[in-house]
Amino acid sequence: MTKYIYRFRSTRVALHERQELATQEIHLASPKILNDPMEGYKDVFWQGDPILWRNLLRHYLLCLLRAYEECLWMAGDTFKEPTIYGALTEENLPTEGFRSLFREAVEVFFSERRVLRWVEILSQWTEPVSKEQLLFHLSQAHPFAIQAVNAAFIKQGYSVGTAPHLPPEGGLNLEPLLNLNVDRRASLMNPIWEAGAEIISQQNLSLIYNQRTRSPAQTSEKRDWLVLHFPRLYIDALVESLIHPPWYTASFSSSCDNASMWSTYGDHHRGIALMFRTEEDPAGNISLPLDGVMGSSFVAGKNPESTPVFARSLHRLHPVNYSTGAPRVDFFRYVGQLPHPVVLRTWWCDENNNISPRLSDIGHDMEKWRSELWSFFDECAVRKLPDWDHEQEYRIVVPDLLGLRAQYPNLKYDFGSLAGIVFGMRTSADDKLAAMRIIEPKCRASEKPDFQFFQARYSSTAGRLIISPMNLLKFARDAKENPSGPGE
């Protein structure tokens, strides 16, 4: 039995500015611009040993050093938020001088007794560390990190001017709290950590508010970003860039008679819904055959730049899982976006190439590890809270493994996959005519007599929105039969 799915579009993107109907394109969007901030959310946790925690702090210093340098040489009257590269490694630093700066900062940071004690106690942690807990910990370690990076620049002869500063003495005494977890009373601690993260957020906001009244705005922005915002943004960068690749999605619905959906996605009932005829892939999943960029290639000696390669493939339409919670992902175990040798050197091994005992089993069954990694990806990409279950959503999910999607964000469907168009209750007559003018030559070229138009309307009998076929609108097979277009 043929299954139909619907894609709501405004007439602006479908008929006018982007002309998606004429070009037969489906636009893939980044989850960051979708209306649900929980899109792709992963319940990431950290559970490590001395090797893993020390490597996390080394990486924290590495990213802070890079961001600090950007702020340092930024023109005094400008501020552009630095990018935190979660996939950054020491090998990626541009010069030997930079690597020397990093090694100096590491030496200063780990010479601090309280930092070493922090690593020691966290290594004995009895419960997974949540994002909120990690933010709390990194915020307490951040003053030492700032001072270590600052000291490294000064030792190398750089003038740091009015460097950001946080007094380590102002931090909390964490050891009693940490020892509670070591003593296996972690169940008492979760509310404390969550409250601590909230306290930090409110304190930061208060500090920014007060400091902006006492110093130039741009200087304050740099300092605030480095001193107050960096720990949270660093954690976000880790989660977003080191576990799974970036991904893009296109959304569909199994029905188009929900008034709320028309209001949210159909331009307040002024848009249209595209009705697609699906196919089954070899595994029995509903899919659409779509053309899109699949890779890149170049001819040696002829073109120094790579050229995109386009091909057609069946794209599965995943039913969205509406449920509470989110997939729990062990960060240290699933650093999946770096080559395996790089992960070993920078995250899973110490300076003497001793691998973390927590992760020594991965090398014995890499296929199982990869399967688990992609299983988490699928779970994250197609899960939403029950609040959204009225959408009855299906979605195409495309991981951006080659970094090409930002440049080529569209997929193209065959006109044979488009079974009909549904007009919203408020779709203007001009927009309906515009859609009909686009569809008519496509129907003639493909000799497709079964294309159908529909109208969304309120039924007083049913007491709800219904979709009615517009059976009088049929294109004549031969233009000479009815030169005026659709009619009786």
- Distance separating the N- and C-terminal Cα atoms of the chain: 30
Run of H or E residues at 465: strand 464-469
Rg (CA), the chain: 28
Would you state the pLDDT for residue 80?
Answer: 87
pLDDT > 90 in the chain, percent: 55
| 3-state DSSP assignment of residue 321 | strand
DSSP label at 415? G
DSSP label at 487? B
| Distance from C-alpha of 121 to C-alpha of 111, rounded to nearest angstrom | 16
Strand partners, 286: 280
Strand partners, 45: 130, 330
Q: How confident is the model at residue 169 (pLDDT cuts 50, 70, 90)?
A: very low
Would you state the pLDDT for residue 269?
Answer: 97
87-102 mean pLDDT: 91
Would you state the pLDDT for residue 84?
Answer: 94
The contacts found for 426-434 with CB under 8 angstroms, 24 or more apart, are 426/268, 426/269, 426/270, 427/11, 427/269, 427/270, 427/271, 427/272, 428/11, 428/270, 431/11, 431/15, 431/270, 431/272, 434/11, 434/15, 434/16
Run of H or E residues at 63: helix 50-73
Burial of 8 (0-12, 13-18, 19+ CB in 10 A): buried
pLDDT at 488 over 80: no
31-48 mean pLDDT: 87
406-451: per-residue pLDDT in tens? 889 999 999 999 999 999 999 999 999 999 999 999 998 887 778 9
- The pair of three-digit structure tokens given for residue 114, joined into one six-digit string: 């309280």
pLDDT at 3 over 70: yes
pLDDT at 193 over 90: no
Would you state the pLDDT for residue 437?
Answer: 95
**26 C-beta neighbours (distance < 10 Å), count:** 23
197-246: per-residue pLDDT in tens? 666 666 656 655 565 555 554 456 787 788 888 999 999 999 999 999 99
**pTM confidence score:** 0.82
Which has the higher per-residue pLDDT, 306 or 355?
Answer: 355
369-383: per-residue pLDDT in tens? 999 999 989 899 999
254-308: per-residue pLDDT in tens? 999 999 999 999 999 999 999 999 999 999 999 999 999 888 775 555 555 678 8
Would you state the pLDDT for residue 62?
Answer: 96
